[in-house]
Structure 1
Amino acid sequence: MTADPSGTPMTSGNLLTDNPALYEARFPDPDRLAGRWAEDCLRRHGAGPRVLDLGCGTGRDAAHLHGAGRAVTGADLSEAMLAHARTHHPGPAYVQADLHGFDLGEGVFDAVVCLDSSLLYCHANAQLDGFLASCRRTLTPGGLLVAEMRNGAYFLGRTDLLDIPTVDTFTWQGTTYRSATNLFVDRTAQLLRRIRVWSADDGSPPVEQHSAWRLLFPLELRHFLAAHGFEVLDLHDGPGPRTEPAWREGESPGVTADGDRLHLVARLSA
């Protein structure tokens, strides 16, 4: 392991997950667009005040929902992320939990929020079943599941996101970081695999990191939700916090599911 002058380690782990402040520098959201979109969904469908932000990461969205007057618990598997959230985005309660299966109490939340493709880290059907069964257990009857993620259907016949690497450069605390990201579809596993090579101008060697998202299709997602007692209220490709153009206050949900992002609101049957 090496470290840059700011003290951020360049390791073979997940550089952004292991370094939450760097994550926020790489993915700034000064207007809290994701949190505002989630709050709009909750308000539009009449959700109660108790919210679980599952895969809360650095805590930005959980803190926004808390600021909107909700009683929020942020849950994540990464202790580094949770430590950062408690220090930099106070207000919510923060707990460690695995989205593949968790038990935070029965009927204790009015809504579960799962943003930024966190749900797609359920790679296997059993993991997705575990996630939905846990959501069902922790929600009150009539509770909401709000999620935002990549759309597997987008990759049917499209290769624009696969053809060339995505290169990003940003500077944080005097060090310039560069990432080159390649995506490819693993059809057998139904995964969108990601290879990201990090480099920095501090002389540390490049680091290659691997991750993957489940490619879920809209009808497939509807089937899983119905099997666990959820009724789909909204399932569309935008507008949302990561679409182009991005969602704006007051915009209604779309009616198609063809774009790169998928936005879900589902209600647990009473």
Structure 2
Amino acid sequence: MTSGNLLTDHPELYEARFPDPGRLAGRWTEDRLRRYGAGPAVLDLGCGTGRDAAHLHAAGRRVVGADLSEAMLAYARVHHPGPRYVRADLRDFSLAPGPGPGSGSGSGAGASFDAVVCLDSALLYCHTNDELDGFLASCRRSLAPGGLLVAEMRNGAYFLGRNDLLDTPRYNALSWQGTSYRSMTTLRVDRTAQLLRRTRVWTADDGSAPVEQHSAWRLLLPQELRHFLASHGFTVLELHDGPGPRTEPPWQEGALSTGSADADRLHVVARLAG
């Protein structure tokens, strides 16, 4: 195995490890966009393999998918066509929908997005307050007045007094292109940096050496997130722990939110001031 990130460097393996055959994440997102009347121009930040972006495109939206991984973007263009895919850093970006059918709510000739979507904890790669401010300032620049931010992520509040997901290795196995892979994943809380740190060790039966990979997410508390959003001109329309595309039980059409923010996922819909 190579020393890069095994999953992001091999998008086919990523989709095998995290299947979503029913496009649950895309359907949840489209439901939120329709519920709050978002126009057609959508930016999917941290789009990964493009599955969700392509679902939103198929629903009739004009979608730009953005990611830092060139491998993911190349895969998305081939396997999930329809959206325009570009490389961008969610901590500081300047993107526009470009020409296309429909101008959206207040977006003139397509100069602004009607919604920014940020799923699967991508927002939590903003580790510092400055990076989170950079993300929200970039969203504010890119959105039309009244535009939506739709985000789904881990819930920092879940780790207050709970350790059931921490410090104990969890194992997963899968086969891909004739090779069997096994991962050992351990999470720990770095309280000083306010991060959830992940160590994942991959082994394979092809004789290659094990690969150890490290990543981290910001642990944001619900009220902390409300404060950041308000400081950048957003009004929170929804902020709850479920149901959502990665909760148990998962979201389904017509499901109502719990009204709490206690479980391990957090779902946010916020509107930029008009």
Which TM-score tier does this pair reach, normalised by the shorter chain?
over 0.9
**What SS is found at the alignment partner of 1:48?**
coil
CA positional deviation for 1:203? 1.0
How do 1:75-154 residues align onto structure 2 when only pairs under 5 Å count?
Answer: 75-105=66-96, 107-154=111-158
Q: Percent identity?
A: 77
2:237 to 220, 226, 233: 233
Aligned residue type for 2:131: Q
Are residue 56 (structure 1) and residue 47 (structure 2) matched?
A: yes
CA positional deviation for 1:260? 0.1
CA positional deviation for 1:243? 0.4
147-156 or 160-169, which deviates more: 160-169
CA positional deviation for 1:249? 1.3
Q: Which runs of 5+ in 2 are unaligned?
A: 97-106
Query: CA offsets per residue over residues 164-212 of structure 1, 9 Å max, x none?
Result: 2110001112111110000000000000000000011111111000000
CA positional deviation for 1:252? 1.8
CA positional deviation for 1:253? 2.2
Are residue 202 (structure 1) and residue 199 (structure 2) matched?
A: no
Determine the structure 2 residue equivalent to 1:257. 261
Are residue 42 (structure 1) and residue 33 (structure 2) matched?
A: yes
RMSD between superposed Cα atoms in Å? 0.9
Q: In 2, Cα distance between the equivalents of 1:220 and 1:187?
A: 15
**What SS is found at the alignment partner of 2:252?**
coil
**What SS is found at the alignment partner of 2:270?**
strand
Determine the structure 1 residue equivalent to 2:103. none
Aligned residue type for 2:19: P
CA positional deviation for 1:89? 0.2
Q: In 1, Cα distance between the equivalents of 2:271 and 2:3?
A: 40
2:170 to 157, 162, 166: 166
CA positional deviation for 1:254? 2.3
**What SS is found at the alignment partner of 2:136?**
helix
Q: How many residues align?
A: 261
CA positional deviation for 1:251? 0.8
**What SS is found at the alignment partner of 1:235?**
strand
CA positional deviation for 1:20? 0.7
Determine the structure 1 residue equivalent to 2:104. none
Q: In 1, Cα distance between the equivalents of 2:212 and 2:167?
A: 19
Q: In 1, Cα distance between the equivalents of 2:121 and 2:53?
A: 16
TM-score by length of 2: 0.94
Q: Runs in 1 of length 4+ with deviation above 6 angstroms? A: none
**What SS is found at the alignment partner of 1:141?**
strand
Q: In 2, Cα distance between the equivalents of 1:250 and 1:178?
A: 37
Are residue 181 (structure 1) and residue 172 (structure 2) matched?
A: no
Q: In 1, Cα distance between the equivalents of 2:212 and 2:174?
A: 18
Q: In 2, Cα distance between the equivalents of 1:41 and 1:187?
A: 33
Q: Which runs of 5+ in 1 are unaligned?
A: 1-9
Q: In 2, Cα distance between the equivalents of 1:200 and 1:108?
A: 46
